[in-house]
Amino acid sequence: MKVGILAAGGDLILIPEIPFSEKKIVKYLLKRHAMKKNYSIVVAAEGISPDKNTSAAKYIGNVINKGTGFETRDTILGYLQRGGTPSPFDRILATRFGAKAAEMIAKREFGRMVALEGHIIWRLIIIDINENLAYNSSCQNGTRRRTIG
């Protein structure tokens, strides 16, 4: 998912496994706007909506619109993903990600995710959005932490 966010220029990711605050999301997006960022890309995994009859995209779009007054547009990535055959790079990358994820599980390194930067596969520590809206910027033992917010 991280590579998808990087490729799309994602600014914020929401997943059901990490609780988040609607107020902090709104505050973060208003801060970006004050810094002359004319748009923000928010990636929301299905399952974040408290209403099971509302898609994650519609739910977070409504939260953002009501809290900021900004126009929102939702796109459900699953529809976009159905349109093509994976390239050799995609297949090799998926294999590398899977191998790194399996290695992390074997080492009981939970609360992390894999990401590609250049040609290096990193283990990223996930920090709760309620703490920082960020993940942090040092590098230890092949684990990368970088501030995003």
Percentage, residues of the chain above pLDDT 70: 73
- Is residue 62 within 8 A of residue 17, CB to CB? The reply is no
Work out the average pLDDT over 41-64: 90
pLDDT at 143 over 80: no
Among the listed residues 112, 42, 109, 118, the one whose alpha carbon sits nearest the alpha carbon of residue 77: 42
2-80, CATH topology level: Rossmann fold (3.40.50)
The span from the CA of 81 to the CA of 127, in Å, is 27
Work out the average pLDDT over 16-21: 88
Give me 145's structure tokens.
């932490």
What pLDDT is stored for residue 19 in this prediction?
Answer: 87
Strands 139-140 and 143-144: antiparallel
Spans of all domains in the chain:
2-80, 85-144
**Average pLDDT of the residues of the chain:** 79
Q: What is the pTM of this model?
A: 0.52
